[in-house]
């Protein structure tokens, strides 16, 4: 004779069946979501492989060589995040920064049997920065080590180089909103701040140095003064075989705010245009110079160069997830 189940046991079995049904339903929902993601994103498979590679990355094996104690040229690379347009288009983030000196590029390849796989290429630089790095951090490793050299009669140069939309002007000039610029967040401002701080120290106050600013652009093979109504300038070689920009206007500045006003004035005159990558793209090379003079004679000079996009016109439809910055000292 079959034993009758107690009410308590029947209730437990009922709850267990409900849990199993709920689990099956959840698994079905997850499978549908995964299918929807896979269908809606053509790069889903490659992105999954990149994420898997990042999870298993051994950063200790990818450390780049240690930089020299004192070297005249330093090359740094900064990765930028995907912008809103790229995120909407479900573009791939193919750049990984596994250490402070290494950039890894993930390239999608296809075997003969049409199976996809990743080819991971690594490149070593003096410093690398991921997409979370601030302008202040980038400045510490690029332009800041050069500032004091101009107080010792040095000529320093820091330049931003990369494709359209890679963020060169954002790094060197500051944050932009349309044509409005906040220069206080860029390399221009940080160099100016350090220059005026050093001027107040006892070591350099006795030199009686004065600070001047110049700003010019190179566009279409010609040079224009951005602080003098875009006057056309000549570039000639003097008797000492030094290149001189003839007629370039130098304006004396007394504080950081004066220097930033010059930067904003020059940027407002800079040649720009719209591309499929950037609604407000810089189309010219610009050179912003901070000059120290002692009794009217050149003492030191810091040149901040913001280069135009280095790509061909046909490449303007493709944004890049990285940017590069370099510095040199003479």
User: Angle at the Cα of 165 (from 159 to 168), degrees rounded to 5?
Assistant: 20
How far apart CA 16 and CA 300 sit, in angstroms, is 81
How far apart CA 228 and CA 29 sit, in angstroms, is 65
How far apart CA 279 and CA 267 sit, in angstroms, is 16
User: Per DSSP, what are the bridge partners of residue 282?
Assistant: 272
Q: Which two tokens stand for residue 3?
A: 């034993």
How far apart CA 24 and CA 22 sit, in angstroms, is 6
CB 330 within 8 A of CB 154: yes
User: Angle at the Cα of 169 (from 93 to 123), degrees rounded to 5?
Assistant: 45
CB 97 within 8 A of CB 130: yes
Which residues fall in the annotated binding site for ATP? Answer: 162-169
Which residues fall in the annotated binding site? Answer: 162-169
User: Per DSSP, what are the bridge partners of residue 157?
Assistant: 303, 328
Report which DSSP code applies to 230.
T
> Dihedral, CA atoms, 47, 49, 51, 54, nearest 10 degrees?
-140
Longest dimension (CA), the chain: 119
User: Per DSSP, what are the bridge partners of residue 212?
Assistant: 252, 291
How far apart CA 59 and CA 130 sit, in angstroms, is 14
Q: Which two tokens stand for residue 264?
A: 């904003």
Q: Which residues contact 142 (CB under 8 A, 6 or more apart)?
A: 74, 76, 127, 158, 187, 325, 326, 327
């Amino acid at each position: 004779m079959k034993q009758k189940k107690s009410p308590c046991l029947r209730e437990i079995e009922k709850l267990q069946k409900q849990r199993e049904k709920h689990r099956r339903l959840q698994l079905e929902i997850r499978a549908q979501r995964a299918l929807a993601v896979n269908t809606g994103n053509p790069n889903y498979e490659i992105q999954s492989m990149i994420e898997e590679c990042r999870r298993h990355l051994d950063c200790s094996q990818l450390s780049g060589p240690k930089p020299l104690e004192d070297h005249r040229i330093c090359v740094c690379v900064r990765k930028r995040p995907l912008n809103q347009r790229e995120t909407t288009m479900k573009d791939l983030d193919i750049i990984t920064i596994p250490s402070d000196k290494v950039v890894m590029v993930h390239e999608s390849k296809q075997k003969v049997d049409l199976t996809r796989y990743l080819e991971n290429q690594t490149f070593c630089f003096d410093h690398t920065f991921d997409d979370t790095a601030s302008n202040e951090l980038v400045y510490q490793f690029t332009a800041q080590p050069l500032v004091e050299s101009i107080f010792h009669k040095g000529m320093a140069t820091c330049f931003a180089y990369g494709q359209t939309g890679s963020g060169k002007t954002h790094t060197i000039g500051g944050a932009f909103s349309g044509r409005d610029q906040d220069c206080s967040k860029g390399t221009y401002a940080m160099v100016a701040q350090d220059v005026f701080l050093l001027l107040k120290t006892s070591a350099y106050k006795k030199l009686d140095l004065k600070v001047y600013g110049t700003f010019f652009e190179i566009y279409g093979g010609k040079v224009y003064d951005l602080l003098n109504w875009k006057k056309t300038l000549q570039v000639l070689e003097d008797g000492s075989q030094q290149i001189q920009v003839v007629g370039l206007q130098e304006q004396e500045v007394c504080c950081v705010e004066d220097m930033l006003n010059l930067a904003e004035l020059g940027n407002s005159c800079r040649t720009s245009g719209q591309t499929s990558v950037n609604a407000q793209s810089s189309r010219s090379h610009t050179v912003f110079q901070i000059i120290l003079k002692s009794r009217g004679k050149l003492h030191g000079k810091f040149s901040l160069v913001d280069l135009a996009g280095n790509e061909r016109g046909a490449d303007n439809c493709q944004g890049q997830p990285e940017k590069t910055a370099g510095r040199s000292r003479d």
